[in-house]
Amino acid sequence: MLIELENIDIVNDGNLILSDVNLSVDKGEFVYLVGKVGSGKSSIIKAMIAELPLHTGKARVCDFDLLKIKRKQIPYLRRSIGVVFQDFQLLMDRSVEENLLFVLEATGWKKRDEMLRRSKEVLEMVGMATKAHKMPHQLSGGEQQRVVIARAFLNNPPVILADEPTGNLDPDTTVEIMELFMKINQEQKPALVMVTHNRDLVKRYPGRMMVCENGTLNEIPTEMEISMDDILV
């Protein structure tokens, strides 16, 4: 199991965000985290990358014990996780290729020829091989998100966490990005956990659905009929 959260409480600045959270995700699984604004979805993502410390229950991600993890271990945890952000978080003063090389260097790669080869591989994977020399501001929102997905896969992580990855994209581009996620999920089998508010995505691309509501996290069985209006805003 790549992600195992059992009976954890998530606290931020002394405030209890979610209690008694349980979530298990194995290789190749695709899981949605849904819920109303402020229900704690992004806090779960932050907990899984050790941005929010955990003190109760059991929590393991990629063989790292989140309750016992030391500060010096956190970078190694994060190398095992690819994170795709809504707002891209690209370095705007560097080209696409330089953005990827920066991450590779920061995660321990030493040989420039190997770094260049890996950068090319992930850009080809997301259909951006011809844009390596471009600056982020020269790209559309969809192209920037493709680069972010490429960046997330640089170290072949077994887990991908996507926090509202289509939140800033138009409907057509959203479909393109989701098709790319589905292709990667099917071919490379990472565990994919996606936070979304998009009702159409949940209907069009079925996955396990975990709902943040009433201060905890619950799974909705796939056979259960439920209105998205009840759990999304």
pLDDT score for 200? 86
pLDDT score for 224? 55
pLDDT score for 99? 96
pLDDT score for 167? 84
pLDDT score for 198? 85
pLDDT score for 231? 53
CA–CA distance, 24 with 1 (Å, rounded to integer): 7
Residues of the chain with pLDDT under 50: 225, 233
- Give the pLDDT confidence of 92-149 residue by residue, as tens digits: 999 999 999 999 998 888 999 999 999 999 999 999 999 999 999 999 999 999 999 9
Kind plus residue range of the DSSP H or E element containing 25:
strand 15-25
pLDDT score for 49? 94
The domains of the chain, with CATH numbers, are 1-75+160-165+191-222 (3.40.50.300)
CA–CA distance, 120 with 132 (Å, rounded to integer): 8
Q: What is the pTM of this model?
A: 0.89
**Chain length of the chain:** 233
CA–CA distance, 199 with 229 (Å, rounded to integer): 8
Contact 48, 161 (CB under 8 A): yes
Beta strand pairing call for 191-195 and 15-25: unpaired
pLDDT score for 129? 94
